[in-house]
Amino acid sequence: MERRQATRLGGHIRKGEKSSIVTFWNVGEERMVKNPNGTERKSRPLLRRFYRVFNLEQTEKSADKLGLGKAEPRVPSLDECEAMVSGMPNPPKREQSHKAWYRPSTDTVGMPSRQAFDSAEAYYATLFHEMTHSTGHASRVGRAGIEQLNEFGSESYSKEELVAEIGAAMLCGMTGIAPRTIENSAAYLKSWIDRLRGDSKLIVSAASQAQKAADYIRNVTKSDATKNAAETAESEVL
């Protein structure tokens, strides 16, 4: 929450606490725009806002005013993970394999057994990654390049890996398992961001695609997603 929100609740930020900067991005659909000289170019509306926010645990009295009592961390729910997987509309086929992958030609996700992972959280984080890949299929969200074979380490391959891992991180956060998967996810993301040489435009584009993928897996409609984004921007609560 923001400092002024804590104040409105009759609470305050504890002395010495440091805020975190959060950025809200709203990337619009691309459209062709004519320049005065008659040439055309692609235009993509972009809304970006910055917020300095604090965790509820960094405040005093705010949690009581919200009726939450002492702020407690969210308890991970593996049942919620399974519900998200089973609730995906038009899901890809699944088969057991010795490693995790998504094969566009047969629209199939391959996954090792749960026993092959260090934890159930790691299993679902990996499954979320492959499910995010599958949303690029033409029968779902559709994503340029997902059905073509791209060379490992190429820009298109790297961007798709970013999309898949950001999408997986979003789903891990929504199901409460992120605290147990965040380190691996951060390391994986860094490796692909390094390959893209820190190109901020590619990263923002990948995040936008990942959000669409996560919304599809959660069966959130475009109108619902737009409404949620508008409400977030209007209330300025992140």
The pLDDT of 96-124, averaged and rounded, is 94
What pLDDT score was predicted for residue 150?
64
Between the two ends of the chain, the Cα-to-Cα distance in Å is: 6
How far is 163 from 205, CA to CA, in rounded Å? 9
Domain boundaries, given as residue ranges, for the chain: 75-224
- Give, in degrees to the nearest 5, the angle at Cα 18 between 51 and 194: 70
**pLDDT (0 to 100) of residue 45:** 52
Q: Is the pLDDT of residue 230 over 50?
A: no
pLDDT at 203 over 60: yes
Give me the pLDDT at residue 229, please.
Answer: 44
Q: What is the per-residue pLDDT across 72-85, written as a single tens digit (0 to 9) for each? A: 444 455 899 999 99
**What's the count of helices (H) and strands (E) in the chain, helices before strands?**
8, 9
Query: How far are the Cα atoms of 54, 186, 233 from residue 30, in angstroms, in the given order?
Result: 34, 29, 21
Q: How many CA atoms lie within 13 A of 213 on its CB side?
A: 32
- Report pTM: 0.66
pLDDT of residue 235: 40
Condensed to tens digits (0 to 9), the pLDDT of residues 4-46 reads 777 777 788 888 888 877 665 555 555 666 667 766 666 555 5
Residue corresponding to tokens 């409404």? 227
